Amino acid sequence: MVTKTQLQQFLPDARPVLIEAVVHGWTKAEAAGITSLPRIRQFLANIAVETQGLTRIEENLNYTSAQRIYDVFKGPAKARRFKSVAECVPYVRKPKQLAIKVYGGRLGNRPAPSTDGWDYRGGGMMQTTGRDNYRKQGFDANPQALRTPDTAFETAVREWWQRGCNGLADKGDTAGIRKKIQGGSGGLDDVKAYLKRAEKVFTTAAAPAPAPKPGDSVYTQKVMVESVQKRLMELGYTEVGGVDGLIGPLTRAAILAFRDDAGLELVPTVDEELMRALATAKPRQLTAEREQASPDYVRAKVPEVQANFFSKVISAGTAVISAVGALLSGVLDNLGGARGAIEPVREFASDVPGTVWLGVVAAIAALLFMINRHGEKTGVEAFRSGERR
What is the rounded average pLDDT of the residues 321-327? 57
Across the chain, mean pLDDT equals 80
| pLDDT at position 115 over 70 | yes
pLDDT, tens digit, for every residue of 363-373?
776 776 677 66
Question: Is 383 in contact with 302 (CB distance < 8 Å)?
Answer: yes
Count of beta carbons in the 10 Å neighbourhood of residue 304: 16
| pLDDT at position 221 over 50 | yes
Would you state the pLDDT for residue 205? Answer: 64
CA dist 260 → 151, 161, 193, 256, 265 (Å): 34, 21, 42, 6, 8
pLDDT, tens digit, for every residue of 231-261?
888 888 888 888 888 888 888 888 888 888 8
Would you state the pLDDT for residue 125? Answer: 95
Rounded Cα distance between 114 and 123, Å, is 18
Would you state the pLDDT for residue 217? Answer: 44
| pLDDT at position 190 over 70 | yes
Residues 6+ apart with CB under 8 A from 267: 256, 259
Residue 387 — very low, low, confident or very high, per pLDDT cuts 50/70/90? low
Rounded Cα distance between 127 and 136, Å, is 13
Would you state the pLDDT for residue 332? Answer: 46
Residue 140 — very low, low, confident or very high, per pLDDT cuts 50/70/90? confident
Would you state the pLDDT for residue 233? Answer: 86
Which residue has better confidence, 219 or 101?
Answer: 101
Would you state the pLDDT for residue 229? Answer: 87
pLDDT, tens digit, for every residue of 59-106?
989 999 999 999 888 766 556 788 899 999 999 999 999 999 999 999
Rounded Cα distance between 291 and 380, Å, is 10
pLDDT, tens digit, for every residue of 268-309?
888 777 877 887 788 887 666 666 667 777 666 565 656 665
Would you state the pLDDT for residue 235? Answer: 87
What is the rounded average pLDDT of the residues 13-33? 92
Rounded Cα distance between 225 and 254, Å, is 12
Name the strand (E) or helix (H) holding 181: helix 174-182
| pLDDT at position 345 over 90 | no
| pLDDT at position 380 over 70 | no
Question: Is 66 in contact with 92 (CB distance < 8 Å)?
Answer: yes
